[in-house]
Amino acid sequence: MSKEKILGIGAFLAVAVALGMGAHLMVESKATSYFSSDPAACINCHVMESYYTSWQHSSHARHATCVDCHLPADNLVDKLVSKARDGWNHSYAFTFNTYGKRLMISDDGARRVQANCIRCHSSVIETQVRGAEGQHTIGGLSDGERPCWDCHRLVPHGKVRSINASPENLSIKWKK
């Protein structure tokens, strides 16, 4: 057998193995579930189970999904870019255990959540700002400058977000 033929067979096998491993990774990580807006896709990673469970028992579960709060609503391109960037960051953090004792939202993520709070609750916010007339300043920030979760910290994920606080969340699994 010639050297070229051996190299060709070796290259073919290497590509076949890489494709097979890639397909296996896609199936095991449930990668296609991330194309949906189903909140259950967020619990593919066990780290997110307590967040999912606390959201599931909140008033927001009846009206908003994870995507509604955490991704831009203004256009599809921004939504897909943010979803891809967040997916990469989450994959890296969960794979290499760099997220610490609790998850912290990124500055970009916080900006998106704030914009979505305002988008969904605009009538309530307008009434609040008109009625407050600047009397609700804390730490030098007026109501318009403060993130909604300064006052609404428990919305929608509740006070306690740990595996011990919601032991039943382990039974929630993504549908295949």
Q: Is the pTM of this model over 0.75?
A: no
Confidence of residue 175 (pLDDT cuts 50, 70, 90): very low
The answer to whether residues 41 and 34 touch, using CB atoms and an 8 Å cutoff, is yes
Whole-angstrom distance, CA of residue 48 vs CA of residue 34: 14
Number of independent structural domains in the chain:
1
Read off the CATH number of the domain in which 147 is found.
1.10.3820.10
- Per the structure, the complete domain to which residue 90 belongs is given by 3-171
Is 124 among the domain residues? Answer: yes
Q: What SS3 state is found at 141? A: strand
pLDDT, tens digit, 9 for 90 and up, residues 41-85: 888 877 788 888 888 888 888 889 999 999 999 889 999 999 989
Is 176 among the domain residues? Answer: no
To the nearest 10°, report the CA torsion of 54, 55, 60, 62: -100
pLDDT, tens digit, 9 for 90 and up, residues 30-42: 878 888 888 888 8
The answer, yes or no, to whether residue 172 has pLDDT greater than 50, is no
Is 13 among the domain residues? Answer: yes
What share of the chain in percent tops pLDDT 90? 24
Rounded to 5°, the CA angle 83-88-91 comes to 120
Whole-angstrom distance, CA of residue 49 vs CA of residue 167: 10
